[in-house]
Structure 1
Amino acid sequence: MEPRIFITGVTGFVGGTILDRLYKHHPNIRVDALIRKETDATQLASTYPNLTPIIGTLASLSLLKSAAAAADFVIHVGGDNIPAVCAMMDGLASSLSINKGSSPSPRLISLTGIRSLIDLSLPITGVARSGSRPWSDIADLDTILQFPKTRMHAEADQAILAHSAAQGVGTMLVSPGQLWGQGKGVLKKESHSAFYYATVKSRGRAFVIGDGSVPWSWSSTGDLGDAVVFLMEQAIMSGDERREQVGVNEQGYYFVRSGEVSLMERAKFVSERLGLGEVESVSVEAAKEIHPFGHIMFGCGETTRADRLTKLGWAPKELDWKALMEEEGGQRA
């Protein structure tokens, strides 16, 4: 019998993609999905067989706990919500036969992000730092999991892993780079990449901070969805020996990476597509006027290596970021 999955965030760009990939790889899978609106629940239930909507929000902690307790595996795509994820862990712990002396079995994936790698105490210049190197989710794991809690995602990542270990539940944190391509779900199709494209159109010029040489690792939405499904398969649909190779908690942080691109490369390609002139260099203050997080979106970057997924035998398939930018009309960048 196919496993029972409880998933949050299915009406969003990432969660909708993961839900679609679950059914693509396992058409008979049983899914319980947390959904806020009845209209969205009706549409998703009519699209995907064996999907049971659970009407509620991430503030419905008792509901989250009971839904997780009934599931074989939980996938959280609802952001850095510590109480919600901890409630789902409590539910998993209540339904599992846990041997406190053994390594916990992988039972939960929570999506995080690589913006925890950004040190905002350093000046934002848009210029690639000399001597910088990609972050490895194996070699650099101790550093990544001990970042100051003031960094994006860091406090949530650390709290989730601490509670997971205390409950004897195996948790994996999955951290993609910038996301490229159209969402694969039936509701939300576009990410923040559509915002940059729309802003360039309205301004009449593509732009970066500084010289835009700072690079970002990126993942296609499809690759991210496939990576999450792959980890779920290794966790609960493989043999004991294979399952033991899946790192969890302090060994359970996974980058997902399809490639990398500099902000200037992206800006130049957008400018070419729209028939605009040279790329404009804007100040940090001007970037903040465009968007409250504009200085981070347009002036910072980090690169990663998905060593842990590679070690398990997974590899990305969609490697052409320009094709993903133009996919289905290409209103994104």
Structure 2
Amino acid sequence: MTKIFIVGGTGHVGGAVLDIISATYPKVELIVLVRDETKASRLVSKYSKVTPVIGNLNSLELLESASKKAGIVINAAPDITHEAGIEAILKGLGGRSEKGYYIHTSGAALIWDEPDGLKPGTKIWDDVADIDEITSMPEEKTHRQTDKMAFAASPSVNVAIISPTAIYGLSPSIEYPVPLTLLEVLNTISKVPGGFVVSAGENLQNYVYVLDLARLYLLLVSYAIDAKESVAGLDLWGLKAYYFGAEEELAFADFIAALVSVLNKKGIVQNETLTSINVADAAKVHLGGDSQEAPPLDSWAMHIAIMYGTDMRVRSTRAKKIGWQPRGPAVKDTLDEVVERYLVEKKG
């Protein structure tokens, strides 16, 4: 029987992945890493056939052992600062007698342009046409170090990297139904009257519906179960197996305007005015402090602020060539229910 080990299975993305795999493959043995017994109990109450294991991305021996026992490992947890955990997973998979499969979650922050927000960027990154450049980015680029680690394991592990853009929509996750990036936006909005943009807010970003993204993981899992090596002339695994998860494109100003309209109707903000701020001010506002100095460039607040003003334009050519077909609702059509769920979660 196929065994799948899911890391990050209670997260926004991982929860959607777990949900769709358990529904599609009810006879597959699913092992899910959870932080504590309370989360394990909640997980089993929803997915009775799932086997939880208690640990985190610092539980190196557990990660290695569980990965070696599983034929397929899906890492849907954050990759940044978790190199040791990723290394343990790859070591476990690499020690199998049969070559295992590793589906790694990266992110399109790898290709962010300079954050000025003044006008849309013209470069659209294609995961087929631009694959050589994508897989040879400087190591200081976000996600590059962990991408490199995953690809380096290709001789002994079947590796594929999924790189989502901005994720939207409700997830069936038991812990994080609301997109984490939206939570950051709402945190910043709570500290300014109305909404905000960086400069003019004309920067363009791709979005992916969380359930569509989960279907991309499912597609790769199905190919792993069938031991398929290529589709449509493309290698499914290996040094070029990098899949952008992206569909709709929106200017940040359009996204914020739609979100603020929903927030205004629900009485969360009092007006729909968009305030123009720069990246440094966005970071300071996000922190909610009185400091006049911008946070360090490598801080999480600055990372989030840069996200507001940057371009993130990509094409999911590889994913679509192997059979991925996004079919979710438009970003704006999901905001009402997502904000409503956010308010419920906040009260709880």
Q: How much does 1:240 deviate?
A: 6.3
Structure 2: runs of 5+ lacking an equivalent: 265-270, 287-300, 343-348
Taking the aligned partners of 2:256 and 2:231, their CA distance within structure 1 comes to 43
* Aligned-partner residue type, residue 257 of structure 2: K
1:117 matched to 2:106: no
- Counterpart of 2:145 in structure 1 is 155
CA distance in 2, matches of 1:244, 1:35: 38
CA contact (8 A) 1:201 1:274 kept: no
Matched, 1:45 2:44: yes
Q: SS state of the match for residue 31, structure 1?
A: strand
Q: CA deviation at 1:284?
A: 2.1
C-alpha change, 1:155 and 1:78, in structure 2 (3 Å) is same
Residues 261-280 of structure 1: pairs in structure 2 closer than 5 A: 261-275=250-264, 276-280=271-275
Q: Is the 8 A contact 1:235 1:243 kept in 2?
A: no
Q: Relative to structure 2, which stretch is displaced further, 238-247 or 60-69?
A: 238-247
| 1:101 corresponding residue in structure 2 | none
RMSD between aligned residues? 2.1
The aligned amino acid for 1:30 is E
Q: Cα distance, 1:97 vs. partner?
A: 3.4
- Picking from 172, 191, 195, the partner of 2:160 is 172
**Residues 1:18 and 1:187: Cα distance change in structure 2 (over 3 Å):** same
Match of 1:250 in 2: 239
User: Where do 1:36-185 residues align within 5 Å?
Assistant: 36-80=35-79, 81-97=82-98, 107-119=101-113, 122=114, 124-129=115-120, 132-162=122-152, 164-166=153-155, 168-185=156-173
In structure 2, give the amino acid aligned to 1:127. L
TM-score, normalised to structure 2's length?
A: 0.85
Q: Deviations over 1:281-315 (max 9, x none)?
A: 11222111023134312111211111111111111
One of 286, 305, 310 as aligned partner of 1:295: 305
What secondary structure sits across from 1:222 in the alignment? helix
- Whole-Å separation in 1 of the counterparts to 2:45 and 2:232: 33
Offset of residue 273 of structure 1: 2.3
Could you tell me which residue of structure 2 aligns to residue 259 of structure 1?
A: 248
Shift of 1:96: 3.0
- For 1:189 and 1:227, locate their aligned partners in 2 and report how far apart those are by CA, in whole Å: 19
1:125/1:242 CA distance change after superposition, 3 Å:
closer
CA, structure 1 residues 252+303, in 2 after alignment: closer, same or farther (shift >3 Å)? same
- The alpha-carbon deviation at position 197 of structure 1 amounts to 2.9
**Distance change (3 Å), C-alpha of 1:139 and 1:243:** closer
Residue 6 (structure 1) shift: 0.4
Give the drift of 1:114.
0.4
Letter in 2 for 1:302: M
TM-score, normalising length: structure 1: 0.89
Q: Quote the residue 1:312 is aligned against.
A: 322
After superposition, the Cα gap between the structure-2 partners of 1:197 and 1:96, relative to the gap in structure 1 and judged at 3 Å, is same
Asked if the contact 1:137/1:254 (under 8 Å) is kept, the reply is yes
Residue correspondences, number? 318
Q: Which moved more, 1:267-276 or 1:136-145?
A: 267-276
**Cα–Cα, structure 1 residues 242 and 117, in superposed 2: closer, same or farther, change >3 Å?**
closer
Question: Is the Cα contact below 8 Å between 2:263 and 2:339 reproduced in 1?
Answer: no
Paired with 1:297 and 1:239, the residues of 2 have a C-alpha distance of 36
Higher deviation after alignment, 247-256 or 207-216: 247-256
Greater CA drift, 27-36 or 289-298: 289-298
CA distance in 1, matches of 2:280, 2:35: 37
The residue type paired with residue 83 of structure 2 is I
